[in-house]
Chains A and B, each alone.
Chain A
Amino acid sequence: MTTVTRRNVLKGGAAVVGGMAGILATGRAPAYAQATTVHWLRWTDFVPASDQLLRNEIAKEGEKALGIKLNIETINANDIQARVTSAIQSGSGPDVVCVLNNWGQLYGESVADVSDLAEALGKSQGGFYETSRAVANDGKKWIAVPWCIVGLQIAYRKSWFAEIGYTDGKFPQTWEEYREAGKKLKAKGRPIGQTLGHTFGDAPAFAYPYLWSWGGKEVEADGKTVVLNSPATVESVKFMVAFWKDAHDEGGLAWDDSNNNRAFLSGTCSATLNGASIYIEALRKPDTYKTEAGGQLKDDILHAALPKGPGGQFSYHVPFSNLLMGYSKNQDAAKKFLGWIHSKDVYDKWFVSQKGFSVGPTTDWEKHKLWGDDPIMLPYKQAARTGRFAGYQGPSTRKAAEVVTKYIIIDMYAKAVQGMPAEDAVKWAEAELKKVYV
């Protein structure tokens, strides 16, 4: 048994006082107390298995391989911007933040330059998709490392569309056809489910490509001249008003990104633009989600791209990218971690856990054997190739990000659906855009 003497206590006390003085002088914890921790803030994934994988396996492997402790924090995607803003303003917070859309452009001055890492990643994995580059590069440098792209396709009920003539997995090819199909389905109590609410994913992913497909656009290629108020945009708004009334679940004006999942899985809507999370959930619980005939819902789901308009056929898939925060005191460790987690072997595990919900940020991931596993997921495989991004025809700059976060394009359609004349809704949106693009 060790005897605690007064002398020992005094010695220990002196050591502590001396140590504290050292810590205060250097502003750092002593070496023996430091376990380099990288704090990674992410959204709560719509594929829960991926979050479990990150926490239970990848974090442990990272600690072993890099000697870095990984602190993964997941929050509601809607709250990420608030967290980033407060972290930047206070100069402390997560070392790495995984942001959606082109939000990274809002924080360009407050993040570390990760060009070396991003360039190397792009070169070694087949090159980035345009979407990945648009949101993570400010034209001069890489402000984020592209992480993935969540493909958005229309999930639809195969049997219900077959009942109205779209047999053998066919799907309406134009907006007119989609409206007619939706009209028939709504008459049967099976409307199309689409959000025009203030949501980060499904609403912009529907409203932007819809606008482009009619020939409308936010700005010219110079990224400054607002050209929204065009006959094409007005036509798109007029069509939307009728389309909404004829074919949609009108509650969609208040839907968030999870409402359509619930509506589809409960058999309340027949088609909805979404990531593959509906299908993945139906796969996960085949005996929970059933069709009205008693079959498994997973066998009655197919995916299709958004229809064509007079201006062409477009899509908007939601990219994710990792910001290495400028205030981080662990930049070297965080960079090491980002390089490691993007390496093919490590990223592969996470990619597989997504089951196709996300595609990689680079084209190499299209070659993955995962795409041979399930033909229902095949439309997601190359979806990222057709994606344009917010701010089109200009670059996806901070101003374009501001337009996204103010929901201006979405609200233009929502206002018209609520009764504002199409011309007035477009004028309103144009005026809002001009305030941003001054």
Chain B
Amino acid sequence: MSIAVMNSEQSSGQNSVPNYSRDEIMTVTAARQLQNSAVCFVGIGLPSAACNLARQTHAPELVLIYESGTVGTKPSVLPLSIGDGELAETADCVIPLPDIFSYYLQGGRVDIGFLGAAQIDRFGNLNSTVIGDYLRPSTRLPGAGGAPEIAMHAKQVLIVMKQSPRSFVESLGFRTSCGFMNGNGQRRHGEFADASAGAGPQVVITDYGMLKPDPVSDELTLVAVYPGVTAAEVSAATGWSLRIAPTLTVLPEPTAAELSALRSLHARTEQAHANPVRIVLPKTA
């Protein structure tokens, strides 16, 4: 992909249509969902990139919490892991891990949970555990981490995932984290209403566009696409028969300022992760 050279005046994507990749418009679109001063519990990978882009562009007051116990962290590069030293050094406070899950997450103090996964189904349930049989899996994935409780207790959940028939599936190999379970309000009633303070996934952002749950059936419905993307393409990248809204919104392209912020974030990150570590050994007694 070629990278267009832009000057800083060109902040509107209207006049200068910058070249950008699908990954970039996906990350920018995800970042735009985050409002300034929201308290956001961040997963690693795409969610972390989107959250830090938001903080460096339109949402400087965004409060980022990572499951390592770093609250209000402000990293200048993307952490490779959720526990990198820079997250601790730039945090408002660093607390023990049981506190973050009990007092902050289960206690209902998180506005937005931002997740990715290996698989998603039509009701926004997520799999990050296994593909195939649990005891003899064809692919053993890393597992749950913080996701099940983020999915339950954050007031709302945003999901960002690349879309393909292998990731957007008719039936999950394992339900690691719940979206709307079997849909039709199951999450809002009975034992679920007891267990969860959260409203579940409100937006799924992919490399084709955006899906939102139907207010009655809870089924994920394609509501918006990136410029040049057709509904047929998105259906072909979905492993179930995808519901499509009667009118599709075309999402705005990234601005030059957003692209430049995102690219410099990635460049700084790459450089930082390649730094060799020198250990200065302390003198031992």
Determine if chain A interacts with chain B: no
A binding-site residues for B, Cβ under 8 Å = none
